[in-house]
């Protein structure tokens, strides 16, 4: 006998879902900020494919600042020169390098919060000083505040000042991306304190004093390039840390001849994608040495879960039936 269903009145209110901590992206762009793993053996095209992703991001104006942790940045500079990364934002992998990047992002947050406070102060100043009489009627607190801000001199007279302007052309909290290349086996991944922070809450790095559109934090996109997904024998030794694998939003795989590794990939992703579809997607997408398959674990639409070489969607019938984007 089936159970009876009895409805109750509680638990009807829904939380605010307007804050997603996502950057605005175009229809076929990769959702950001993301945690992306790019996995392939030597010379399969990891750096080349990552550079293509970054080229599109630059064309879309997605990021304001790029960071790199890599011991081989100088030799691979040709792939990254178009990003115009500041030399101070390229770090050699160390136990502290990820924490240093997080500190730089938090510094960007502090600048933005200070700028927004300055804008509010300027707006308040405009409202309270519409004419000379209004200036003379200012209370001591406002008068001192406007003098400290440089809007008035010590005699209470207006100074020649510029309205607050953001340091970049686009006025928004910094949108940034970190690329970690050739860091496997370095202190940057081996129990580095900042790695867990990035893996668990890359979208929530540097919380804002006040939300900006759908964002309550700066967040940061992260891309990890690696020659191996897991280490030998099924453990994590020699492969990407489990924390990164479990929190990844996007994975890009190149040709892999190891049945053990492929079995592990299918096993770990079984909760997010259909194993049979994933195996078929691998077979369709990866034919030649430099072919790759991107798996989007949080796609904008079910039809956008799989991409071949970035430029082709692999759309399965079930996803087609659930399409939300009318591709």
Quick check: 143 pLDDT over 80?
no
pLDDT tens column, 122-131? 887 777 777 7
Position with higher pLDDT, 166 vs 76: 166
Q: 197-237, pLDDT tens digit by residue?
A: 999 999 999 999 999 999 999 999 999 999 998 865 433 45
pLDDT greater than 70 at residue 109: yes
Q: How far apart are CA 257 and CA 288, in angstroms?
A: 12
Compare 171 and 188 and report the one with higher pLDDT.
171
Q: Is 248 exposed, middle or buried (0-12, 13-18, 19+ CB in 10 A)?
A: buried
Question: 193: which residues sit within 8 A by CB, 6+ positions away?
Answer: 95, 98, 99
Structure token pair of residue 30? 């990769």
Predicted confidence (pLDDT) at residue 30 exceeds the cutoff of 90 = yes
| 168 Cβ neighbours under 8 A, 6+ residues apart | 64, 174
How many whole angstroms separate alpha carbon 98 and alpha carbon 78?
24
Q: Which of 72, 96, 99, 74 is nearest to 87 (CA)?
A: 74
**Whole-number average pLDDT of the chain:** 89
pLDDT at 58: 97
pLDDT classification of 325: cutoffs 50, 70, 90: confident
Q: For residue 148, is pLDDT > 80?
A: no
Q: In the Cβ-directed half-sphere of 231, how many Cα atoms lie within 13 Å?
A: 10
Contact partners, residue 205, CB within 8 Å, separation at least 6? 102, 105, 106, 197, 198, 217, 218, 219, 220
In percent, how much of the chain has pLDDT > 90? 57
């Amino acid at each position: 006998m089936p159970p009876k269903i009895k409805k109750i009145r509680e638990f009807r209110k829904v939380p605010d879902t307007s804050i997603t901590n996502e950057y605005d992206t175009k229809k076929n762009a990769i959702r950001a900020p993301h945690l992306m793993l790019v996995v392939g053996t030597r010379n399969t095209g990891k750096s080349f494919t990552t550079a293509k992703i970054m080229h599109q991001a630059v064309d879309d104006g997605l990021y304001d600042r790029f960071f790199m942790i890599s011991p081989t940045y100088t030799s691979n500079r040709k792939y990254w020169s178009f990003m115009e990364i500041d030399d101070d934002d390229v770090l050699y992998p160390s136990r502290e390098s990820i924490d240093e990047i997080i500190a730089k992002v938090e510094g960007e947050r502090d600048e933005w919060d200070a700028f927004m406070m300055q804008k509010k102060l300027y707006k308040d100043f405009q409202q309270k000083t519409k004419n000379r009489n209004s200036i003379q009627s200012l209370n001591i607190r406002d008068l001192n505040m406007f003098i400290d801000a440089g809007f008035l001199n010590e005699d209470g007279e207006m100074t020649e000042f510029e309205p607050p302007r953001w340091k970049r052309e686009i006025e928004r909290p910094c949108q940034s991306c970190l690329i970690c290349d050739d860091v496997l086996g370095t202190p940057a991944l081996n129990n580095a304190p900042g790695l867990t922070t990035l893996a668990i809450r890359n979208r929530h790095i540097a919380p804002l004093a006040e939300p900006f559109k759908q964002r309550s934090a700066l967040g940061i996109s992260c891309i990890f390039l690696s020659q191996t997904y897991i280490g030998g024998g099924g453990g994590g030794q020699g492969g990407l840390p489990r924390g990164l694998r479990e929190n990844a939003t996007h994975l890009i795989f190149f040709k892999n001849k190891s049945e053990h590794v492929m079995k592990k990939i299918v096993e770990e992703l079984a909760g997010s994608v259909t194993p049979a579809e994933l195996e078929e997607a691998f077979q369709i997408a990866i034919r030649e040495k430099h072919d790759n398959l991107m798996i989007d674990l949080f796609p904008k639409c079910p039809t956008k879960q799989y991409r071949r070489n970035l430029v082709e969607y692999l759309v399965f019938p079930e996803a087609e039936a659930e399409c939300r984007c009318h591709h």
